[in-house]
Amino acid sequence: MRKFIVALLLGSTLMANTQPVQRPKLVVGIVVDQMRWDYLYRFNDRYAADGGFKRMLNQGFTCESTLIPYAPTVTACGHASIYTGSVPAINGITGNSWWDNQEMRSVYCTEDKSVKTVGSSSALGLMSPRNLLVTTICDELRLATNFRSKVIGISPKDRGGILPAGHSANAAYWYDNTVGDWITSTYYMNELPQWVKDFNAKKLVDSYYEKGWDLLYPADTYIQSSADEKVYEGKPFGKNFPYDLKKFIGKTYSSVLTTPYGNTLTAEFAKTAITEEHLGADDITDFLAVSFSSPDYIGHTFGPNSVEAEDGFLRLDKELGSLLNFLDNKVGKGQYTVFLSADHGVSQVPEYLQENKLPGGRVFMSNVVKQLNNNLLEKFKIPGLVVSDDNYQLHLNRMALDSAKIDKEEVTEWITGYLSAEPGIARVFPIDELNEVPLPGRIREMLNNGYYPRRNGDVQVILHANYIDAYSSTGTTHGLWNPYDAHIPLLWYGWGIKQGKTNHDTYMSDIAPTLAALLHIQMPSGSVGKVIQEVLK
């Protein structure tokens, strides 16, 4: 009898030990390129009851004070930080591009000359994640399941699809705006799957152009936005709504990204990928990383207070609602987990601020650097001494300084004095003095977190609040430490997620560790974030 009981207990123990780890069937990571946190509430009464934002706010969990922990706050850094739980100082993605001090050239974040384009004949496919120095949460999921999990990254921008999906992804796809097709590189495969070829053959972009872009609702209801036509807005389609896009049919495939149809194209491609790749179809967790790029193109061109930006987010809300409904039907309600965040925010257009008696302005850094180089030539007899102003930093030609036997410290101190008198520049200092100059702790930490020696410069520039590094007299940009650039939304929804919110400070780098806890897998190899415990059931 005793032997029978012992055997029964041992059997029960063995059965308990063979129970699989509980995980969702699918994780969908959504990054909205250029979404300020306040958009969740600025347009809240305009979002649809069955749209994506209200559904996630009301039925999921929202982290209301989510901040980017580094500078510069730009696209590549944001996507890398979200999925690595890390910062540029560790993951190496210090900008969309950076000056490489050893190679003495500008390097694009995902460039890879060892691969070839798959899906078109352009050079836009010469990309891979090789410049990313650590793993992503997608890599860790692949490792945890012995590579049985399927991971796919999708974004109109190559960096928005490649960096999140990580090194071991099954695929990453991005948009070739020269031909209007989704492409990839030989890093992932030698030929596009038939379903991608079939999707491209539909030429959906031309059908979107045929429709044109008119407002979703009557013009007089857009009371949260400025007048439709402002001199400081870009004019890629004409003066005001409705925009006739028929002239682009069969000719220009880049313009679609500066309309809400860029989001529609991305959502439709994501849905097709879920279906054709059977994502979430079994008990082995898959991961789809999706980035919506059009809000960034629209925001840069028209500004965050434009009718175009408001209409873009009202339409994106509907796209997100449709995507959630699709997941309900395809994967099953309660069987998937979604998070939504942004890679960065954006500054208001300076002239919009000025006309409302608020501080703001433009600093044309390229012109400033051109004049600076002229003065440096006169003083130090070296032409083109400043080789780059990437990421709010000046990079010096160190080889030329060494050859001329000129002390770099002397040059950087001279530059600091020169630029300190430039209107719009709040602080400028040699980077190697970062931890000595008087700065608020948060700003110092953000700059330290953005510093990776081989990919960073010699002189740091910080602009006044609401001043932007401008390339034209219209539109706006982002990239600095300020809340309008660094305060982003973070919404959680679905399997394993509580309903509620927190106003405690959380960080972009906390997303990957929280996913690791949810999935019971290892954090990415460079992770410095913490688990947001309030989110998890």
Catalytic residue numbers? 75
Residues 296 and 259 sit within 8 Å (Cβ to Cβ)? no
What 409-416 contacts at long range (C-beta under 8 Å, 24+ apart), as own/partner pairs, is 411/376, 411/380, 411/385, 412/458, 412/459, 414/376, 414/379, 415/372, 415/376, 415/386, 415/459, 416/459
Annotate 504-521 with DSSP letters as a single string: EEEEGGGHHHHHHHHHT-
Q: In angstroms, rounded to a whole number, what is the distance separating the alpha carbons of residues 387 and 396?
A: 6
Radius of gyration of the chain (CA): 24
Which residue has 């919506």 as its token pair? Answer: 292
What 239-248 contacts at long range (C-beta under 8 Å, 24+ apart), as own/partner pairs, is 241/213, 241/214, 241/215, 241/307, 242/212, 242/213, 242/214, 242/215, 243/212, 243/213, 243/214, 244/212, 245/208, 245/209, 245/210, 245/211, 245/212, 245/213, 246/209, 246/210, 246/212, 248/209
CA triplet 360, 366, 367: central angle to 5 degrees? 85
Residues 369 and 394 sit within 8 Å (Cβ to Cβ)? yes
Q: In angstroms, rounded to a whole number, what is the distance separating the alpha carbons of residues 55 and 443?
A: 34
Q: In angstroms, rounded to a whole number, what is the distance separating the alpha carbons of residues 64 and 77?
A: 21
Listed in sequence order, the DSSP H helices in 330-394 are 350-355, 365-380
To the nearest 10°, report the CA torsion of 183, 186, 190, 193.
-30
Identify the helix (H) or strand (E) that includes residue 67.
strand 61-67
Backbone angles phi, psi at 12, to 5 degrees: -65, -40
The residue among 337, 329, 208, 193 whose CA lies nearest residue 273 is 193
Q: In angstroms, rounded to a whole number, what is the distance separating the alpha carbons of residues 489 and 486?
A: 10
Which residue has 């030698």 as its token pair? Answer: 190
Q: In angstroms, rounded to a whole number, what is the distance separating the alpha carbons of residues 346 and 356?
A: 18
Q: In angstroms, rounded to a whole number, what is the distance separating the alpha carbons of residues 394 and 432?
A: 13
The residue among 421, 425, 359 whose CA lies nearest residue 393 is 425
Residues 27 and 497 sit within 8 Å (Cβ to Cβ)? no
Q: How many CB atoms lie within 10 A of CB 515?
A: 28
To the nearest 10°, report the CA torsion of 495, 156, 160, 344.
-90
Residues 241 and 260 sit within 8 Å (Cβ to Cβ)? no
